[in-house]
Amino acid sequence: MKRWLRQHRYALLVAIRRLVTQPFSSLANILVIGLTLAVPIIAASVLVSAQPIAREIPVSPELTLFLNPSTSREDAAGLVQELRKTQPEAILSTRLITRDQALEALQDNPSWSEALAVLPGNPLPDAIVVTLRDTPQLAQHASELAQVWRALPQVDSVQLDSDWVRRLEAMLRFIRIGLGMLAIGVALVVLATVFNTVRMQALSQREEIGVARLVGATESFVRRPFLYLGALTGIVASVVAIGLAALALQPINTALARLASQYGASFALHLPDRLSLLMAIVVVAILAALSARWSVTRNTKF
């Protein structure tokens, strides 16, 4: 056990020495990998920051029926029962929001409280929120129901609330697919960069490796420092990429804060959780080590 630990300690020290003795080459490789890795990290930040918003949005489409101001509370409740009876297979749930409840909800919002304070009365109508069941032709069915309900005498207007939700979900799916393809491209860049780095190292130490084999060095002893070299390059580049992504998110969040303030909201991008970042570092280190093994195996056969 002590011998095994001693061999790995020696290989690690040799890998660190090779990184330090060629600072320009090592720094260039680390920056190339780091800049490449920073792009999917920023994309992942957009994805993980937008997912909570998508979870809070109801997936099932909703139709909001705004009633005429002359409609009484009893007529509104009766309309709710009528909708349930006429479309039981299409309606998942209904909710009556009175004008007083809507006014209280707006008054709780600081952006609206001052504007509502100057109004002499409550300008809001009663509303019925209808949640539809998910069906194969949901969008078309929802549009047809909206047209039918607009013709009701108690209804002033109908708003379909699902279109932009589905656009957001489609955008998130597109980002996930793009992130997967981007991850494949980044993996290829990591493999190619580490492969070329180890190849140059192996060729420059060709004579040293030949002498080591003459005195009885095994293949694993020869390869081990190069594996550590690839893994260390991947780890350092991953840490650099996380730092670059964090720096890039600062001006992006500043611009997003200004934009969101115009709509009375707040939104900011944040890095993925620490466990995900740690797993990413481990995956990059493994890929770099595998690339180093492949390179040293191909370029030390002499």
| Residues 205, 212: Cα–Cα separation, whole Å | 11
The verdict on 177 and 49 lying in the same domain is yes
Q: What is the pLDDT of residue 302?
A: 46
Q: Which residue has the tokens 């960069």?
A: 193
Q: Among 161, 193, 222, give the residue marking a domain's end.
A: 161
Task: Tell me, yes or no, whether 275 lies in a domain.
Answer: yes
* pLDDT at residue 87 in the model: 82
- The pTM score is 0.61
Same domain, 131 and 191: no
Q: Averaged in consecutive runs of 10 residues, what is the pLDDT profile of the chain (302 residues)?
A: 72 77 81 86 81 58 82 83 84 83 72 63 79 70 81 84 61 74 78 76 64 62 79 89 92 84 75 89 87 75 52
Q: What is the pLDDT of residue 113?
A: 63
Domain limits for position 276: 2-56+172-299
Per-residue burial over 143-175, b if 16 or more Cβ lie within 10 Å, else e, is eebbeebeeeebbbebebbbeebeeeeeebeeb
Let me know if residue 148 belongs to a domain. yes
Same-domain pairing of 110 and 52: no
pLDDT of residue 299: 62
- DSSP type of residue 272: P
Q: Which of 161, 181, 209 is the endpoint of a domain?
A: 161
- Shared-domain flag, residues 130 and 178: no
Last residue of a domain, one of 161, 192, 226: 161
Domain CATH number, residue 96: 3.30.70.3040
pLDDT given at position 155:
86
What pLDDT shows up at residue 110?
Answer: 64
User: Are 182 and 261 found together in one domain?
Assistant: yes
What CA–CA distance (Å, rounded) separates 249 from 72? 52
Q: Is 63:161 a contact under the CB 8 Å cutoff?
A: yes
Give the number of domains in the chain. 2
Q: How many residues does the chain have?
A: 302
Looking at the structure, do residues 50 and 147 belong to the same domain, yes or no?
Answer: no
| Residues 47 and 184 reside in one and the same domain | yes
Indicate if 202 and 137 belong to the same structural domain.
no
Nearest alpha-carbon partner for 230 in 26, 22, 4, 24 = 26
